[in-house]
Amino acid sequence: MGLIAIITSMNAIEKTKDNKLIAVILPFTSAFKGIADEQKEAIDLAMLDFTDYSVIYKDSKSDAAGAVTAFNELLAMDKPPFAVISCASWVATALHPLAAEADIFHIVIASADFKRPVPKHTIRFTIDASQEEKQLSNYLNKFKRIAIYNMDNSYGNGWKKTIENNFKDRIVEVIAYDPKNKDFTNDLKILKDADPDALVLLSAGNGALIAKQARQLGITAQFVGTRPIERPELLVESEYTNGLVFTYPTYNEHHPMIALFTKNYGNAPTIFGVEAYDSITSLITATKASNLSAEALFDWYSGTTYTGALGEIHFDNIGDAHYPYMYKEIYKGKFITAPFQYEMLLNDAKLVIVKAFNQLENNDMQLEESLSDSDFYGKIISRKVTNFPIEMWIMKQDGTIIYDDNRSEIGLNIFTDEIYAAYHSLLEVARKMSSTNNGKGEYTFLDIKMKKNVTKKIIWTSINLNGNEFRLALTHLKDL
């Protein structure tokens, strides 16, 4: 062996990974500083419980090149970290092959636009934009003239393409902006001239400024946004941002992390902090249950359900997380769960059921069987309501359940089956449903897994098929 080969192999030996060190690459010096700071605060909070691990933070600056430099600095360390957590779609895509090559386990957060060429290596906590978009389009569907104003990066441009594909004939103007800008008026004048009835803002921290300048210019279009738009700045400018509707993950607002974060930092976390917190706590849990190779850590996540501040997160075999999204809204200066969504989803589901049955020639028997059939639900109803934090069921007026998201209840009768007997508020609502063709109420019953009692809100409507009347019900947890 020559001298150079010996030195190289000694370096390789020295560069074993530090199995207590986790690297976190965040966009500290960029237009997304507020997001990076929040993610760091959440990770610091989580690390209070894990004193035997340490975190090294690196600045990705504003683009993929900055992230690659930061990653190479980590690799050059004597003992590089065993895992890296990174933020932003453009960073995820750039670092994924590098981390895979160096066999450093990779978790990506705040990365809705991301493809992985290397399997079994990277876990993603963010729901893909293509999933979120299905939910957003339910709402966007009611607009005829849609304009898009998007950050000029892979997140904004990826999303823009998806919306353009889905609403080809309704797009009246599309402009990309540099997220470092502070004055958007020239672009907004062009957007105003296009006379949109909805303006989609694919924005993060500067969404507030854009909304303010847009309203000051006289743009009256409905503002519509996506996950990254929920930033504290929006509430400071609520005079201009009230009414903004956006898609947003559900998470467990009662998780101790939320109160602790609020106490320590003076404001509640957004999804960026919540995601960052779960990424590091789950990673440390994973290290305790498996060895530290990228493959073993990936296998720990893949196909499992982890319960964290995001609620129940299911990881598929590719390594993508899944959890529900819903519509939020700014109302009187506060972020709230948009109340319109339940009625909207119920009516959407009703319309698709009626349409599907008008295309079939069914006798009464087939009608009930079809309604009870779970692909029917898959093909017809779920396209409209998938991934919202709701449940649906269909009841005959005599109390027979002919469809329920919890399949084990199909065929039972609310008025006669024993499992319902102790739930008086449910029986009362069901009696009202039997005699009234639409309404709302509240009851206590088991959750979808039939494990614990929960209080649900319900709205129902009627579907008349071949002269048979059915009640279609939508429920959601009371405190959502």
Considering CB under 6 A, how many residues would be counted as binding ligand COI? 12
| Residue labelled with tokens 């609520």 | 238
Is there binding between residue 225 and ligand COI (CB under 6 A)?
A: no
Paired with 404 in beta bridges are: 393
Is there binding between residue 89 and ligand COI (CB under 6 A)?
A: yes
Q: State which residue, 204 or 309, has the beta carbon closest to ligand COI.
A: 204
**DSSP-H helix ranges across 15-122:** 33-47, 64-75, 89-101
Binding positions for ligand COI, 30-59, rule CB under 6 A? 32, 35
Q: Minimal distance in Å, beta carbon 166 to ligand COI?
A: 19
Q: State which residue, 155 or 300, has the beta carbon closest to ligand COI.
A: 155
Judged by CB under 6 A, the residue of 83, 85, 88, 245 near ligand COI is 88
- CA distances 177 to 100, 153, 174, 181, 184, Å, are 32, 9, 10, 8, 8
Options 73-81, 111-119, 393-401, 416-424: segment touching ligand COI (CB under 6 A): 111-119
Residues 423 and 171: beta-carbon distance below 8 Å: no
CA torsion sign for 174, 180, 182, 186 is: negative
Binding positions for ligand COI, 160-219, rule CB under 6 A? 204
Paired with 456 in beta bridges are: 443, 477
2-21 b/e with 16+ CB inside 10 Å = b? Answer: eeeeeeeeeeeeeeebbeeb
Paired with 118 in beta bridges are: none
Is there binding between residue 111 and ligand COI (CB under 6 A)?
A: yes
Classified as helix, coil or strand, 212 is: helix
Q: State which residue, 155 or 403, has the beta carbon closest to ligand COI.
A: 155
Q: State which residue, 25 or 172, has the beta carbon closest to ligand COI.
A: 25
Q: State which residue, 228 or 319, has the beta carbon closest to ligand COI.
A: 228
Name residue 105's amino acid.
Answer: F
Q: Minimal distance in Å, beta carbon 405 to ligand COI?
A: 29
Binding track, positions 148-167, relative to ligand COI; x by CB under 6 A: -------x------------
Q: State which residue, 325 or 357, has the beta carbon closest to ligand COI.
A: 325
Q: Minimal distance in Å, beta carbon 111 to ligand COI?
A: 5
303: left (phi over 0), alpha (psi -120 to 50) or beta: left
Residues near ligand COI (CB under 6 A): 32, 35, 88-89, 110-113, 126, 155, 204, 228
